[in-house]
Amino acid sequence: MSEILKFQFDRPELTRPKEYAARVVYSEWLTPDTLKIAFEPTEEPMFGFVPGQYVSVLLPKDEEKGLRKELRPYSMWNHPDEFEYVVTIAKMVDGGRCTTLLRNMKEGDAVTFVGPLGSFFLRRPLHPHLYFVATGTGLVPMRAMIKDLISTGEINDCDVTLYFGVRSEADLFETAELQRWNDRFPRFTFVPTLSRPGEGWTGARGRVTDHLAAIDFPVDDMQIYLCGNGAMVNDVVELMESRGLSRRTRRLVLEKYFG
Ligand SMILES: Cc1cc2nc3c(=O)[nH]c(=O)nc-3n(C[C@H](O)[C@H](O)[C@H](O)COP(=O)(O)OP(=O)(O)OC[C@H]3O[C@@H](n4cnc5c(N)ncnc54)[C@H](O)[C@@H]3O)c2cc1C
């Protein structure tokens, strides 16, 4: 049985994925090319999901433009206990079909999505050392997972480190909450790192992979969650495999957004 099917079998309270009619509840630009947007189901209540899962926005068929019906996945930023709607953060992709749709959406606009989907979620029992590695909007599902660790109190039982890599200060988003969690929970460490920082940046520098390469990982006692662009995910998988952490275990869990 596949892991996701087994998971759904183990959690019968989970909503099965289906199509939802929804409307935009709010949208907010976090950076010039990063949009936070929330969708509320209009015809039925919000579904149950597991932190880390995603929904797929449905792009309708457009015969005039010769476009097929298509789906575009977006991870859920929110924790199931937080809101009666889906919150995501979308990176605007040049010329992207869903990008164009989201960019022009206003409060109240109709949208259709399919969800909840995906098997990028915390693998329990947790190990004593948890690493989360995100580039760009790969941060989205990780925020939901870490919020879950806080809700359950597990944030106090494990050493949890979150690496968040972007290019420059201008590309950072939603770091204030993570910084607050860093200050509040002694075993949680948040490391935003910039590959091209400005002169005034006093935080970590370099790509996330540079930081990881320097770590002596507790390979037998850890789990690592990777999300973001495919190049980063591939590099980290290669690094972890070279340290003896197999991709086949439940301790190396990944979601590739693109590439
Ligand atoms: C499981 C999953 C969850 C995801 N969650 C999120 C999320 O929470 N936030 C988010 O911002 N993205 C997320 N993505 C990526 C997101 O689905 C794509 O960026 C999105 O599909 C782009 O759609 P589009 O219609 O605008 O572009 P398209 O019309 O599909 O593509 C336009 C062009 O851009 C290229 N392209 C497509 N995606 C990207 C990209 N990400 N980066 C660079 N070039 C790209 C294509 O090759 C094509 O040339 C997720 C992807 C997956 C697989």
The whole-number pLDDT of residue 1 equals: 44
* Mean pLDDT across the chain: 94
Which neighbouring-strand residues pair with 58? 71
* pLDDT, mean of residues 81-101: 96
* CA nearest ligand 1 atom 10, residue: 90
Who contacts 142 (Cβ-Cβ below 8 Å, separation ≥6)?
A: 52, 132, 134, 162, 225, 227
Q: Is the pLDDT of residue 247 over 80?
A: no
* pLDDT, mean of residues 209-219: 95
Window from 1-15, 44-58, 134-148, 179-193 with minimum mean pLDDT: 1-15
Q: Is the pLDDT of residue 4 over 70?
A: no
- CA-based nearest residue to 143, from 225, 207, 203: 225
* pLDDT, mean of residues 165-172: 98
96 Cβ inside 6 Å of ligand 1: yes
CB-CB contact of 193 with 175 (8 Å): no
Spatial distance between the Cα atoms of 102 and 90, rounded to a whole number of angstroms: 8
68 Cβ inside 6 Å of ligand 1: no
Distance between Cα 72 and ligand 1 center (Å): 7
Q: Is the peptide bond before 41 cis (omega within 30 degrees of 0)?
A: no
CATH superfamily of 3-117: Translation factors (2.40.30.10)
Q: Could you tell me the residue ranges of all domains in the chain?
A: 3-117, 129-258
Helix (H) or strand (E) holding 183: helix 175-184
Spatial distance between the Cα atoms of 198 and 192, rounded to a whole number of angstroms: 14
* pLDDT, mean of residues 204-220: 96
Q: Nearest 10 degrees: CA dihedral of 134, 136, 142, 143? A: 140
Q: Tell me the pLDDT tens digit for each residue of 9-26.
A: 556 556 789 999 999 999
Q: Is the pLDDT of residue 3 over 70?
A: no
Rg of the chain over Cα atoms, rounded to whole angstroms, equals 18
Q: Which CATH number fits domain 129-258: 3.90.1150.10, 3.30.420.40, 3.40.50.80, 1.10.132.20?
A: 3.40.50.80
Q: Tell me the pLDDT tens digit for each residue of 99-146.
A: 999 999 999 999 999 999 999 999 999 999 999 999 999 999 999 999
* pLDDT, mean of residues 223-241: 97
- CA-based nearest residue to 54, from 146, 123, 116, 102: 116
